[in-house]
A and B are shown apart, each in its own frame.
Chain A
């Protein structure tokens, strides 16, 4: 299908981009890789007046080491995330999840920042960012910066803390100290698809026990969620199949998944438990 008519701007710097957004009229949309935006425009579910394409804003691309964190530019493509050595070293969970996103063609265009800003509850990366306690660096009108913790970034279905005129610049992923293991467990019907439910697990082991676990849930509500009850149950639990299985039983507490063609809510809650057990088991290296 053909989108409704729109104005198109292609800035080359963050400042120009912010200006373009400010000048774009009532209904302006930022475009990153376009992999989520263009389909909804083609189906005429969205008909923005102006599209601001960030494709040429080079300062938004790439991954850098910033001491206690790695920083991923919003416009870094899924492909570039996948092959990045810093990501592989400090946040392999992101690479593991990114590898399950769509197909090569989509990964060549779709971006890390776009996937997070889009905040699809079925998107793979929001729960990963949440489990890694990522921080979102946002630029507003005039260039002012603010940092939003992951826990506050995802507000509702397809809605983030990004305000009018703001754009996501980069995402800081804190480096982890100690013996951490990570795993992304994604459940789909076919090879290339959004998850029905997925679980991102980040686990620190100490002396045969699980010292700390951070668990992000995908598609278990309008936003990505932390499985807080399961995290609490895992803290200090024995790193054994039984210990993990017992804790995973509380993985769906506090979730409110939707019912759709893929799954009804009760089945999603069941899946969250099974997948949490599997994710934590793998992350704990068992």
Chain B
């Protein structure tokens, strides 16, 4: 080994761009942290929720007497007990002025509208005692017709999901580019079109399935309440709890301790959070509620669940002319925090990366007697991306064109940025051709096409297909003005503050609320560069409304792009304040100071320097401070983006399909993502992998299935199939970098890209493998059975049987209250 000293003049490497291992991982992975369910408070009671085993019924009677007398039980409450104070779970996004919101009590009072809805809550001395008492609550239900199918729900004379509203439609939202002035008249374009292709796509219902089930602890102290919750949105939760329950906002503190994942599933104000607060208030005792996995799958909000009717118009040469999307979006039984807004977030993404002259989007929100839907990783954008990337392939088939050629002909050229689309969004930067070229190379495209040809010729039982997704998404939610124009109930800014401690260490307070993303690491890297302090000297504080008083939390790939930008701006303010102090201490003019690597130096005067740490200490002492300057160099900043950022990329999937069994297997997967400036490549790679896993899971594995009675039969992980690493291929990943012009970091957001882009690439690949056998669509997830049926019987593979696959699949709902009917999964098909 040679020992060569680094020359002392080399500047320290920039932190941004380094694959720093995540600071938070050791404690997260080894369990050396306090998850909400680990909390124990003196005198704490445990809650268990009694849930409806029927999908739609009037509550005739709730008899809690037996439960009340059970050992260890302190109290039992029903919806009636809280009817006055529980209000309604808030919906912060009325997407149309006349949107119908039936109201969402946290505990059902008169009526239950989905299996799993809370009907009573037990407070007991132990968790076991609370759970034992659940079975003792006797509820009489007068069953009502169950509404499950969206197309039936919006047909004439449909049964009603809520009988106090007039129809099953919550809202009808329209965006028309012609009317908005961002495109020409869509109807005219379709009337004149040489080619029109129409398809119906089904976005199946998905379950976010975060790793840590939800948990809540509430501690009353006088008239103050502290809530710990496994939530993505402590700040929003505090505000909404105050509004819903009438608890003054300043008397509520919400803490999101370390949180084990969310994927949008914890972007919510949940009935259980409201119930826990109400019980704690009523009893004046600390309470804890922690859900089981089955409870989580059944009652935490679900995602996706849309039917998309997509029409595309083009000329014979393959120039796209117009896009028309009509969407039915399943709200489930109630509107939760942003349920109606989810499909609307997609409204502006259906045109994808293509130059459509005309575009029209219509979406109807539909009520059904199922668990409410809301945000799930990608939220509206995966649905949009799927529709456009699938219909482009269908158009290519219709025109007998190569699917990539068709895309190339219509996508926005690298020289055309910034580009305003027919949906009215201004795309910031990118190069779709560059990303595509790199992705083809990573895949080994030409060889695989050759192998596909050979397999076809030899009539191999295992066929090969290649599918593309050339996608973009809108990230960095969101410019407050835009949210206002869409009637969203809050802004889209983010806040940060930086505290310089006397020893030179740095505390960064962020309004983003990490739940696995690695903010502590990335924010430390940003601050280390801006202030010139060591990475290790930065501590990031978050997720507690008392410590981080202002924030809008983490979702929509917004944290780095918006929250990180606030951190950088706050750091710039610290440097500006420190400059005044440095000038005073160095007896120089501010203009003569240079700040680099954490030190102010006087230009032309070697040796005259003050480090930021020295200035922090001098500020603490404040013995020798400039006249009229307050002794603090701490600073805060609020960043409100002027535009979204637009990551993009090309994903290519090669898929093998066993035509004898219908089993599909990803042979190779390559993707090149442009997420702007990369702060930490390791974190980005992790987000890409996780996103791909979830997007592929939608294509191949996951689906929440209800039986004819409205029981969720994918009620455990035996039947709600989340893939593991063993089921996923090696991912070939790459990047192009076009910095986002809209924030000081240049980052575009990576939290959802993999999930948004991959699903259509996978389905397109499977179809490409079997299209010559007459298959033009297969419904997601592509179960072996569906693929086999599509190949051998035509159609899209059809519905699955609804019964759970083994003794404990799909049976929970029948055990909680002992209700089973002939049509339910176990009484029926088994």
Contacts and interface: CB of A to CB of B under 8 A. Distances in A.
A261 B727 contact: no
A191 B727 contact: yes
Contacts of B788: 267, 270
A1 B292 contact: yes
A259 B805 contact: no
A275 B805 CA distance: 19
Contact of B805 (A43, A122, A192, A270): A122
Contacts of A1: 131, 292, 294
A192 B726 contact: yes
A158 B294 CA distance: 23
A113 B623 CA distance: 80
Contacts of B801: 259-261, 263-264
Interface string A160-196: 0000000000000000000000000001011111101
The interface centre, meaning the residue of B661, B719, B811 with most chain A CB atoms within 10 A of its CB, is: B661
Contacts of A4: 132, 135
Given A2-B131, A190-B721, A267-B789, A262 B783 contact: yes
Given A45-B807, A191-B726, A2 B701 contact: no
Interface string A138-161: 000000000000000000011000
B772 interface: no
Contact of B811 (A5, A43, A120, A259): A43
A274 interface: yes
B719 A44 contact: no
Interface in A96-129: 120, 122
Contacts of B294: 1, 43
B724 interface: yes
Contacts of B807: 36, 40, 45, 120, 158
A271 interface: yes
B829 interface: yes
B784 interface: yes
B830 interface: yes
B800 interface: yes
Given A1-B131, A267-B788, A267-B789, A261 B661 contact: no
Contacts of A254: none
Given A260-B801, A271-B661, A45 B714 contact: no
Interface string B762-785: 000000000000000000000111
Contact of B806 (A122, A192, A270, A271): A122
B127 interface: yes
A192 B727 CA distance: 9
Contacts of A45: 807-808, 811, 815
B805 A260 contact: yes
B390 to A, nearest CB: 22
**Interface extent on A, as a size class?**
20 to 34
A12 interface: no
B51 to A, nearest CB: 12
B829 A258 contact: yes
Given A258-B829, A264-B785, A120 B663 contact: no
Given A44-B815, A187-B663, A258-B830, A39 B808 contact: yes
B724 A192 contact: yes
Contacts of B812: 43
Contact of A262 (B726, B789, B805): B805
A271 B716 CA distance: 25
B128 interface: yes
Given A191-B724, A192-B726, A259 B663 contact: no
Contacts of A190: 701, 721, 723-724, 726-727
Contacts of B789: 267
Contacts of A157: 830
Nearest to B800: A261
Interface in B796-830: 800-812, 815, 829-830
Nearest to A40: B808
Interface in B701-716: 701, 705, 713-714, 716
Nearest to A219: B805
B719 A261 contact: yes
A185 to B, nearest CB: 11
A189 B787 CA distance: 12
B660 interface: yes
Nearest to B783: A189
Interface string B37-77: 00000000000000000000000000000000000000000
Nearest to B134: A44
A136 B804 CA distance: 30
Contacts of A259: 801, 803, 829
A181 B188 CA distance: 69
A260 B292 CA distance: 24
Interface in A238-286: 258-264, 267, 270-271, 274-275
A1 B130 CA distance: 11
Contacts of A194: 718, 805-806
Nearest to A42: B292
B784 A2 contact: no
A258 B828 CA distance: 11
Interface string B711-738: 0011010110101101100000000000
A211 to B, nearest CB: 27
Nearest to A222: B830
A275 B783 CA distance: 17
Contact of A120 (B128, B705, B714, B806): B806
B135 A44 contact: yes
A37 to B, nearest CB: 10
B759 to A, nearest CB: 17
A264 B719 CA distance: 15
Interface string A2-19: 101100000000000000
A2 B719 CA distance: 21
Contacts of B809: 260-261
B136 to A, nearest CB: 12
B827 to A, nearest CB: 13
8 contacts: A2-B132, A43-B716, A45-B808, A190-B701, A190-B723, A192-B724, A261-B800, A261-B810
Interface of B: 127-128, 131-132, 135, 292, 294, 660-661, 663, 701, 705, 713-714, 716, 718-719, 721, 723-724, 726-727, 783-785, 788-789, 800-812, 815, 829-830
Given A2-B128, A192-B724, 15 more contacts: A1-B292, A1-B294, A2-B127, A44-B135, A120-B806, A122-B806, A187-B661, A189-B721, A194-B806, A259-B801, A259-B829, A260-B829, A261-B719, A261-B803, A263-B785
